Structure 1
Amino acid sequence: MDNKRIKTIAYWVTTILGPASFVIGGFLFTTHGVQQAEQLSHLGYPPYMLTVLGIWKLLGVIAIVIPRFPRLKEWAYAGFFFDLTGAAASHIFSGDGLAVAAQPLVFLALVIASWALRPPGRKLVSAG
C-alpha cells in the first residue's frame, strides 16, 4: 500500500471515530437524553445547553464530512476543539478528577488526527 492510501484510510478512520462520532452525541443532546441531561446539570449548565450543543455537534459533523467548503471545515474542527477542551475543563472544575476529564481529550486526539490527516481538497488554502 502506498503512503497516500494509508493516509486516506487513517483520515477516514480517525474522522469516523472522532468528529463523526459526534452524530451520536448530537442526537442524544438534542433529544435531551437522561444521561446527558444529568451530566450537564452536574457540571452546572442549564438544560437548554443540551439543544445548543447538540445542534452544533450535528452541524459540525455535516461540515466535516461533506465535500468542499474548507473554511467551514476549519470552523467545525475549531468548534470540536472548544467543545472537547471545554468538557475536560468543566469536569476538572466540578471536581470529577483527571480520569473523567481525560475522556473528552481522547476524542480530541482523534479530532486533531482527523484534521492533520485531511486530504488536500479538504484543506483551506492560504492566500499568500
Structure 2
Amino acid sequence: MTKERMKNIAYWVTTILGPASFVIGGYLHLVHSDQVMGTILHLGYPAYFATLLGIGKLCGAIITVIPRFPRLKEWAYAGFFIDLTSAAASSAFSGESLGVIAQPLLYFVLVMASWALRPPSRKLKSN
C-alpha cells in the first residue's frame, strides 16, 4: 500500500469519526434531546443555543465531506475548533470532571487530524 493511499485512508477514518460524526450531535441539538438540553442548561446557556449549535454542526459535517468548496471547509474546521475547545472550557469552568472535559478534546484531536490529512483537492490553494 502506498504512502498516499494510507494517508487517504487515515483522512477518511478521522473525518468520519471526527467532523462527520457531528451529524449525530447536530441532530440531537436540533431536536433538543433531553441529554443535550440538560447539558446546555447546566452550563448556563439559553435553550435556543442548542438550535444554533445544531445548525452549525450539521452544516460543518456536510461541508467537510462533500467535494470542492475548500474555503468553506476551512471555516467548518474553524467552527469545529471553536465548538470543541469551548465545550471543554465550559465544562472545566462549570466544575465538571476531567473525563467530561476530555470528551470534546478527543474529538478535537480527530478533527485536527482530519484537517491535517486533507488531500490537496480539499485544501485552499496558496498563492
Superposition TM-score tier, normalisation by shorter sequence: over 0.9
Mapped pair 1:93 → 2:98? no
Q: Superposed, which structure 2 residues align to 1:110-121 within 5 Å?
A: 110-121=110-121
Q: Runs (4+) of structure 1 moved beyond 6 Å?
A: none
Equivalent residue letter for 2:71: R
Equivalent residue letter for 2:35: Q
Match in the other structure for 1:12? 12
- The TM-score with structure 1 as length reference comes to 0.98
Equivalent residue letter for 2:126: S
- Measure how far apart 1:98 and its partner are: 2.0
For residues 101 and 124 of structure 1, what CA distance do their matches in structure 2 show? 32
For residues 2 and 126 of structure 1, what CA distance do their matches in structure 2 show? 26
For residues 103 and 40 of structure 1, what CA distance do their matches in structure 2 show? 15
Match in the other structure for 2:34? 34
For residues 106 and 82 of structure 2, what CA distance do their matches in structure 1 show? 14
Aligned residue for 1:126, secondary structure, equals coil
Mapped pair 1:43 → 2:46? no
Equivalent residue letter for 2:26: G
Taking only aligned residues, the RMSD between alpha carbons, in angstroms, comes to 0.5
Mapped pair 1:22 → 2:17? no
